[in-house]
A and B are shown apart, each in its own frame.
Chain A
Amino acid sequence: MEVKFNHVFYVYNEKTALSKMALGDICTTFKEGKITSIMGKSGSGKTTLIELINALIIPTKGNIEVGSRVISKTRKIKNVNNLRYKIGLVFQMPEEQFFCSTVKEEIEFGMKYFNKSVKSIEKHISDALLMMGLDDSYLNRNPFTLSSGEMRKVAIASILAFNPKVIILDEPTIGLDNKSKENLIKIIKLLKNRYHKTIIVVSNDADLLLKISDHIILLDKGKLVLEGNKYDFFKQDISKYGLKRPKIIEFEQLVLEKKGIKIGYRDDINDLMKDVYRYVK
């Protein structure tokens, strides 16, 4: 399912003294079956942008096409749950999105209340947990007593459980250890390659984005300032927007500048090390 932004504006507290423009004239497309990442400093409008896709907030101007549905101020969306069923949104702070007393209730919430007949809910819950590297012993635990990494995993599992077509992850790696991070990267790639999901990742972790993204967009003060495929994107100087490039790209640029050797782009540092070793040998 494709998500298309057509000249979208969003203003918080419109027509009051507290009004603040969060997004201005955003035109972009999140392609089906691709992983698109959003970068930007805090306060640049990243979270607002993803909340617009899920119709949690409605654009003050312009429209968003999600598959065949259109979200705009002028036209009221009919049966908004049908739209949200297709879009899974994992919020930035998992502990702030929980409201059930057990992990099981938290995960089954989406499946129950979208009024979709999901066969064998129990199996779906276990599968979603297992996918995130947690076992059934977590089912009866209180989500508020989990560690931040475990909370993050439960939050992602609660979205994966109802199998949405578009998956939006807001800062998914915060609080995760390295192993869990690697696991999450594998899952994101699996969702894209095997299940052809449209995935949107909000993060400033350049190394992570280089590994997983197909396309990256950069927001600054609510404006879309840069976009392109990951290699073209990271060729640009993004330090003026307060962001860092991936370490591998920095290293490759350094080798090219100092030694005049062009290594070519790699996503993983291990591949790069192998190439360097081969070259030295």
Chain B
Amino acid sequence: MLNKVMIGRYYPINSLVHKMNPLSKIICVLLFIIMSFLTFNIRFNILLLILLILMLCNTKIPFNIYFKTIFSIKWLLLFILIINLIVGSSLNVTIITILRLIYVVLYTSILTLTTPPTEITYGIEKLFSPLKLIGIPVNKMALSISLALRFIPTIIDQGNKIIKSQASRGIDYYNSNIKGKLLAVKALIIPMFVLSIKKADDLADSMEVRLYNVNSKRINFRQNKWRFYDTFLVLMHLGLFILMMKEVVL
């Protein structure tokens, strides 16, 4: 069950998008999300689709991974479709609403599939670093985010182990009826919390014994250089954004 969760997973291959600076990727994602949510214009939607396809091709990640990502939100898409039909929105609006969500999920998954969680934190920290000037503890926020991201695979692993343990003693999540499935999920929640809290405690202790200080200046293990490709993509997104804003405002 949990192995199929594709959102938030890193896919380690070598591509142009993988080499990009995390900061530029986050800026592009933010601009893309704003653009896709602001426009109802078909021309712009086609432009966004072309941009999205170009980016997807550049990641060199097999397309079935992206299809899996869309497939994992099928119920949400269905829900939006039903709500739109009930409310009585036009077909045009319904299609664009669904397309928007697909665009956003796909573009965000480009970020998560091509950037390790620690690098995403680095990007967020850099993006919000001007806020330090007005006294907002950006480094503490970045640490919280990176720790939260670090625990996602741990919790998934833990869940998988408990599912296996249950299966070996009579309740197989995959091959049982609804009652069995509910029982399996119910039994999953408590130990996952208990063990996650225990692991978080252990992690806090291990950071403390290594004299971790959140306020001290830190350097990065990886040097994230800003390349030509980063400038090009950010400018391209920015150009599209300005063009679209002009269209929306005027």
Contact = CB atoms under 8 A, between A and B. Distances in A.
Interface of A: 16-18, 51, 54, 56, 80-81, 84-85, 87-89, 91, 93, 95-101, 109-110, 112-115, 144, 158-159, 162
B172 A99 contact: no
Contacts, number: 74
A100 B169 contact: no
Nearest to B62: A16
Given A17-B11, A80-B175, A101-B190, A96 B161 contact: yes
B195 A158 contact: no
Chain B binding surface, main DSSP class = helix
A109 B168 CA distance: 10
B45 interface: no
B194 interface: yes
B170 A99 contact: no
B12 A84 contact: no
A106 to B, nearest CB: 9
Interface string B61-82: 1100100000000000000000
A114 B169 CA distance: 7
A17 B12 contact: yes
A109 B191 CA distance: 15
B170 A115 contact: yes
A114 B170 contact: yes
29 contacts: A16-B65, A17-B12, A17-B62, A18-B12, A51-B164, A56-B168, A81-B172, A84-B169, A84-B170, A85-B170, A87-B168, A89-B168, A91-B165, A91-B168, A93-B161, A95-B195, A96-B161, A96-B162, A96-B165, A97-B162, A97-B165, A99-B165, A100-B187, A109-B166, A112-B170, A113-B169, A144-B194, A144-B198, A158-B169
A118 B27 CA distance: 62
Given A84-B172, A96-B195, A114-B169, 14 more contacts: A18-B12, A54-B168, A56-B164, A80-B175, A84-B170, A88-B168, A91-B168, A96-B158, A97-B164, A98-B191, A109-B169, A112-B170, A115-B170, A144-B194
Contact of A99 (B11, B65, B188, B198): B188
Contact of A91 (B161, B171, B187, B195): B161
A113 B165 contact: no
Interface of B: 11-13, 61-62, 65, 158, 161-162, 164-172, 175, 187-188, 190-191, 194-195, 198
Contacts of B166: 99, 109
Contact of B161 (A97, A144, A162): A97
A113 B168 contact: no
A61 B158 CA distance: 27
A152 to B, nearest CB: 14
Contacts of A89: 168
Contacts of B168: 54, 56, 84, 87-89, 91
Nearest to A113: B170
Contacts of B162: 96-97, 99
A90 to B, nearest CB: 9
B191 to A, nearest CB: 5
The 10 closest A-B pairs by CB, nearest first: A113-B170, A97-B165, A110-B169, A114-B170, A99-B187, A99-B191, A89-B168, A96-B161, A56-B164, A113-B171
Contacts of B161: 91, 93, 96-97
Contact of B167 (A16, A17, A84, A162): A84
B187 A81 contact: no
A89 B169 CA distance: 9
B72 to A, nearest CB: 16
B97 to A, nearest CB: 32
A84 B174 CA distance: 14
Among A96, A99, A101, A158, the one with the most B-chain Cβ atoms within 10 Å of its Cβ is: A99
Contacts of A51: 164
A87 B167 CA distance: 11
A95 B202 CA distance: 15
Contact of A144 (B169, B172, B191): B191
